[in-house]
Amino acid sequence: MTDYYAVAHPCDLLDEDLALALDRLHGEIGVNGLAVWAAAPESAWIRGRGINPRLLRSRGGLFFLPDESRYHLTRLKPVTSERLKSRDVFSQITDGCDQRGLKVRALVSASRAGRLPGKYPAMTCKNALGDDSQVSLCLAHPDVQAYLTALVTDLTSERSLAGVILADFEIFWAEADDPRIAADLNIGVGGRRLLGLCFCESCRQGATLAGVDVDKAIDTVRLALDRWFPARTPVSADGQALLEVQPALAAFLRFQDETLMRLKSRLREASSHTLFLLEGEPGTPWATSTFADPAVRPIRSLDTVNLNELERQGVTAPEQSELCVTTQALRHATSADLVSFFQKATEWGVSAILVDGYGKLAERDLNALRQAIRFARRSSAS
């Protein structure tokens, strides 16, 4: 049986009126689950319908009241959202979902937790040019790992959830994905991935202990960027040739992959709930891997409602797979396209379909989603 989840930011649910929003999502649109941000990154978005304010800016942070005693092994201390005040917003939402029989998954930004990079600059990512990130913490840093482990434990210890979804689970200088920087540089996906590689002190020390020639890896990236910056031409996303001739860089990336693998295992052990990993577009050869692990279930983001995209992303067993339809995909799909996609995915045996950006969706999008879920259920029951 396929589950249908709406991905929601707490601010959108609260500003619309929590009871009305949950009643509509469950009774009218037909979802049977919500994926709600419990630890959110800084963000800004335009609401797609009459929710005020129409432009919302959030500095991110935690949307639940943390048990600070759990964070004694890390110098990072939890920072709550400005919207939290004295209320445990996340628990308020989960209580409302429980009353309606809605499943709840907690969304956690692993590396871009709002407001923390600004408070702990020594624990952020740093690119090969020496620029510190103001957006992303480095998941190779011991304090960051201990904080994230404590966060997952804190979030799941006394709550009955349908799972925890890790987003932004990467070691990456996140400014490289800033559209303003990407547009100005015009160096393409490959160039942005190189620019985003983290060479902070934690990464350098850990890789050196693992026997990696870190100086050579950094020099490789700097030389490549120095070549591409003046030309302002897109860099090929296929970096395999570069890795083949630069073994130090390949070894450095393997070290970061293995670091994330170990952290993922640590987080899995810290939680009694199912752990999910929200994956973006397929990475380049120098991007972090997908960390195949049967105990951590991937959720694949789709920018188009086309099941052929699964084949492009290498999904060979759609049964038990989970998909996340991005806001962009929903907006560019016709109602007929969405109905067809949901029907086929449900018939195919996909475990869950998540639809991102509830607050961003216009009435047209919500009506199309309602129709798609209704027809998919009808089709599976016949």
pLDDT tens by residue, 69-128: 999 999 999 999 988 776 789 999 999 999 999 999 999 999 998 889 989 999 999 999
User: Predicted confidence band at 275 (pLDDT cuts at 50, 70, 90)?
Assistant: very high
Bridging pattern class, strands 124-126 and 43-46: unpaired
The pLDDT-based confidence of 228 (bands split at 50, 70, 90) is confident
pLDDT on residue 33: 98
In a domain, 90, yes or no: yes
pLDDT mean over 307-318:
62
Share of the chain above pLDDT 90, in %: 66
- Contacts of residue 69, defined as CB under 8 A and 6 or more positions apart, other chains included, come to none
pLDDT at 286: 46
Question: Which residue would you say has higher pLDDT here, 228 or 105?
Answer: 105
pLDDT band for 172, please (50, 70, 90 cuts). very high
- pLDDT classification of 226: cutoffs 50, 70, 90: confident
Split at pLDDT 50, 70, 90, the class of 236 is: low
Average pLDDT score over residue span 133-161: 95
Read off φ and ψ for residue 276, nearest 5 degrees: -120, 150
Q: What is the pLDDT of residue 240?
A: 58
CB atoms within 10 A of CB 299: 23
On whether residue 151 sits in a domain, the answer given is: yes
Which pair of structure tokens corresponds to residue 163?
């799972």
Count of the separate structural domains present in the chain = 1
- Answer whether residue 191 shows pLDDT above 80: no
Angle between helical axes of 247-270 and 214-231 (0-180°, round to 10): 110
| CATH code for the domain of 277 | 3.20.20.80
Residue 237 buriedness (CB in 10 A; 0-12 / 13-18 / 19+): middle
The domain containing residue 325 runs over which residues?
Answer: 3-123+137-173+259-381
Q: Is position 168 within any domain?
A: yes
**In the prediction, which pLDDT does 1 show?**
87
Distances (CA, A) of 156 to 75, 89, 186, 267, 291: 21, 15, 42, 11, 23
Closest CA to 296 of 152, 143, 145: 152
118 or 150, greater pLDDT: 150
Residue 23 falls within a domain, yes or no?
A: yes
For residue 282, is pLDDT > 60?
no
Report if residue 252 sits inside a domain.
Answer: no
Would you say residue 233 has pLDDT above 70?
no
Q: How many CB atoms lie within 10 A of CB 244?
A: 10
Gap between the Cα atoms of 229 and 187, Å rounded: 7
Q: Look at residue 30 and tell me if it is in a domain.
A: yes
Task: Give a yes or no: residue 198 inside a domain.
Answer: no
> Quick one: how far is CA 31 from the chain centroid?
21
- Is the separation of the CB atoms in 64 and 11 below 8 Å? no
Residue 142 CB partners (closer than 8 Å, separation 6+): 202
13 within a domain of the structure (yes/no): yes
Closest by Cα among 79, 20, 25 to 354:
25
Among 21-25, 36-40, 215-219, 308-312, the least confident range: 308-312
- pLDDT band (50, 70, 90) for residue 156: very high
Residue 304 has pLDDT above 80, yes or no: yes
Range from 54-63, 104-113, 240-249 carrying the lowest mean pLDDT: 240-249
Its pTM surpasses 0.75: yes
Q: Is the pLDDT of residue 259 over 90?
A: yes
pLDDT tens by residue, 32-49: 999 999 999 999 999 999
